Amino acid sequence: MPAADEELAPSFAHHESAELPVVTDDGKSVRVVVGSLYGERSPVPTLSDTIFADATLAAGCALPLDATTEERALYIVAGEIEIAGDRFASGQLLVLRPGDRLTLAAATDARIVLVGGAAMDGPRHIWWNFVSSRKERIEAAKADWKAGRFDIVPGDEREFIPLPE
């Protein structure tokens, strides 16, 4: 999330899987969950350029990877892929260099997840479930959590989880 948008009110949007565009072509299927890819745009709202897609590929299929996205990675859920003559197996996360024009080939039937987007506009601090560009905001969130000032997620009436010490 861009630093300028960190204090926006929390929100949630639900979209049925049927609402998410699917690009199919010659043995491959790519569901665009968030962002834009291969000429399709997901209805899921974002505050910055984002890519999240689930792709299934038949053995031998090729899939070009968008070189215009600043930060890109892919996770191999199942099967094996090849990129520029190197072979990668399931369970691997590949972080791609910005601007590299690459096409992956499915060495076997494969499923991959494509992720990426615009680079963050500065460093972020992470503590437990809290992320902010400002350390003092994380301290305020910790105090709010301890004081019970966070709303309960609708439908999730489980016991309160105390702040880790």
| CA 135 – CA 41 distance, rounded (Å) | 34
Q: Let me know whether 69 and 149 are in one domain.
A: no
Return mean pLDDT, the chain: 93
Q: Let me know whether 56 and 107 are in one domain.
A: yes
CATH of the domain at 23: 2.60.120.10
23-49, pLDDT tens digit by residue? 999 999 999 999 999 999 999 999 999
Q: Let me know whether 102 and 138 are in one domain.
A: no
| CA 93 – CA 152 distance, rounded (Å) | 34
Number of domains in the chain: 2
pLDDT of 12 > 90? The answer is no
Give pTM, 2 decimals.
0.85
Element (H, E) at 137: helix 135-146
| CA 63 – CA 68 distance, rounded (Å) | 15
115-154, pLDDT tens digit by residue? 999 999 999 999 999 999 999 999 999 999 999 898 877 7
